[in-house]
């Protein structure tokens, strides 16, 4: 069954089981582009915003208390997830996000009207004192901040905790270091992992700090930043109401013209996400290099065998979690390019790439959170040291000769290393043969554990 809905373009038929109105229906028909839907995090952010705006409009005497209560109740239903099916619009729509703003307005108005019996209008009541141009960027900030703090930062805490456990467990296992993919001086496996732990800790700090740029909101700017059709302090009042609803210290941006035309806060914050992706790429690649083998690779660590790795090679096990995490990292880096390019399109009074910015931002947060959780549960927890391989490679390394530099000098130490490599002998053998030092001096000076400065 269908019902007729009306907007300034006239009547249009809508599926009677759906709660949206004419403007949503027109968008649904006119923008059949891809399968990516507007993220529900944005819809939930809109629901918080519409509820806050209704409260302020009622307090200012512009909105009837009965309508305010009905709007608030409808918004609560959206936030609860009960109405998810009524938000069908794709990302690739109007660049201001107007159609999603109207989708929310129409669903809130329909539900509020049905439940209260009051004549609630999507524009005049739900969108009172607002414009898509200030509500959509406000919803972008709310959604981005909430998701970072509810999903990504908690996972970073858990990820860091596992790395800390591994660091402490492996702190005294001495292994050969590698620079330029060549043998270098020793360090411990725990020291190596401490580098990854610090990566995650610092990324967490960068993300937490940069997310503060999202706290100022565009609300109150309305169409072009002047605040037309809204009270002078409307933005401040809505931000205060949002603080009550979310517990987040949102504020009204001091310059609404900036807030409408620039998305540098999201671009800046996503830069911290890209930095995290870079660190995860490096760490995941290191893990798969160190676990390579099992017999013909480096093989200094072992990782869990979660599933068969090959459809043709029996018994093969691959570092699939590392591969998945590095693909996540690549996607986030691509998203950063998209967000950076889209943020540069703040033409005149309005950036009109808003939907694609927030879609990519939310995808990055979700992918990083999910990818790290999967890697943590299926790889990090089960990562172990292969002590036999570590000891063998350490004993055979030529770079232990570096410990002789202070005693016999760089040139003589280099001669010993080159002779051992050419002759297939040990450093100790060539050191004694050179006459530069005795076997006893070699044993005293070349101590791998001392070389780690542990």
Positions annotated as catalytic residues are 180, 310
Measured between alpha carbons, how far is 81 from 287 in angstroms, rounded to an integer? 39
Assess contact for 383 and 163: CB atoms under 8 A. Answer: no
Beta bridge partners of 5: 12
Question: Tokens 């987040």 label which residue?
Answer: 248
Q: Which two tokens stand for residue 273?
A: 């996400």
Residue 184: enclosing H or E segment and its boundaries? strand 182-188
Question: Tokens 């930043």 label which residue?
Answer: 225
Question: Tokens 């373009």 label which residue?
Answer: 9
Beta bridge partners of 354: none
Half-sphere exposure of 406 (CA within 13 A, CB side): 7
Q: Answer positive or negative: Cα dihedral of 79, 80, 81, 84.
A: negative
Q: Which two tokens stand for residue 307?
A: 């599933």
Helices (H), ranges, 95-233: 98-116, 132-147, 153-169, 189-210
Compute CA distances 11 → 31, 106, 110, whole Å.
19, 15, 16
Measured between alpha carbons, how far is 164 from 161 in angstroms, rounded to an integer? 5
Compute CA distances 255 → 104, 227, 229, 313, 367, whole Å.
26, 11, 17, 62, 33
DSSP state at residue 39: P
Assess contact for 379 and 304: CB atoms under 8 A. Answer: yes
Decide: residue 365, CB within 10 A, 0-12 exposed, 13-18 middle, 19+ buried: buried
Assess contact for 354 and 97: CB atoms under 8 A. Answer: yes
**φ, ψ (nearest 5 deg) of residue 446:** -100, 85
Name the binding residues for substrate: 96-98, 121-124, 131-133, 179, 311, 316-318
Measured between alpha carbons, how far is 348 from 87 in angstroms, rounded to an integer? 30
Measured between alpha carbons, how far is 411 from 108 in angstroms, rounded to an integer? 79
């Amino acid at each position: 069954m269908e019902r007729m809905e009306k907007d300034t373009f006239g009547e249009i038929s809508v599926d009677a089981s759906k709660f949206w109105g004419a403007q949503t229906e027109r968008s649904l028909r006119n923008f059949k582009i891809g399968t990516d839907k507007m993220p529900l995090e944005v819809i939930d952010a809109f629901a918080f915003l519409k509820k806050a705006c209704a409260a302020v409009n009622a307090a200012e005497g512009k909105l009837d208390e009965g309508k305010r209560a009905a709007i608030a109740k409808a918004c609560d239903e959206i936030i609860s997830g009960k109405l998810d099916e009524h938000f069908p619009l794709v990302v690739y729509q109007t660049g201001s996000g107007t159609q999603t703003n109207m989708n929310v307005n129409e669903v809130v108005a329909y539900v509020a009207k049905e439940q209260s019996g009051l004549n609630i209008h999507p524009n005049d009541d739900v969108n009172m004192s607002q414009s898509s141009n200030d509500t959509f960027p406000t919803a972008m900030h709310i959604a981005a901040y909430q998701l970072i703090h509810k999903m990504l930062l908690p996972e970073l805490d858990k990820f860091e905790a596992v790395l800390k456990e591994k660091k402490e467990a492996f702190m005294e296992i001495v292994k050969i270091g590698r620079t330029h993919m060549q043998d270098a001086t020793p360090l411990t496996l725990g020291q190596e992992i401490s580098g990854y732990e610090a990566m995650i800790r610092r990324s967490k700090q960068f993300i937490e700090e940069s997310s503060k740029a999202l706290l100022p909101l565009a609300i109150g700017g309305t169409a072009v930043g002047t605040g037309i059709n809204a009270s002078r302090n409307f933005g401040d009042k809505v931000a205060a109401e949002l603080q009550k609803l979310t517990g987040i210290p949102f504020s009204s941006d001091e310059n609404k013209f900036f807030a409408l035309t620039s998305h540098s806060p999201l671009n800046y914050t996503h830069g911290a996400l890209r930095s995290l992706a870079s660190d995860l790429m490096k760490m995941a690649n290191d893990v798969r290099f160190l676990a390579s083998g099992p017999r013909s690779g480096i093989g200094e660590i072992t990782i869990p065998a979660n599933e068969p790795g090959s459809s043709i090679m029996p018994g093969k096990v691959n570092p699939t979690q590392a591969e998945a995490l590095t693909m996540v990292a690549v996607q986030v880096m691509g998203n950063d390019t998209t967000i950076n390019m889209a943020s540069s399109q703040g033409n005149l009074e309005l950036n009109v790439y808003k939907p694609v910015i927030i879609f990519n931002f939310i995808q990055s947060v979700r992918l990083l959170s999910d990818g790290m959780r999967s890697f943590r549960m299926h790889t990090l927890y089960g990562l172990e040291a292969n002590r036999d391989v570590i000891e063998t490679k350490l004993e055979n390394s030529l770079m232990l000769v570096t410990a002789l530099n202070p005693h016999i000098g760089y040139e003589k130490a280099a001669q010993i290393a080159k002779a051992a490599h050419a002759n297939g002998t040990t450093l100790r053998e060539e050191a004694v043969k050179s006459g530069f030092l005795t076997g006893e001096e070699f044993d005293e000076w070349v101590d791998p554990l001392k070389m780690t400065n542990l």
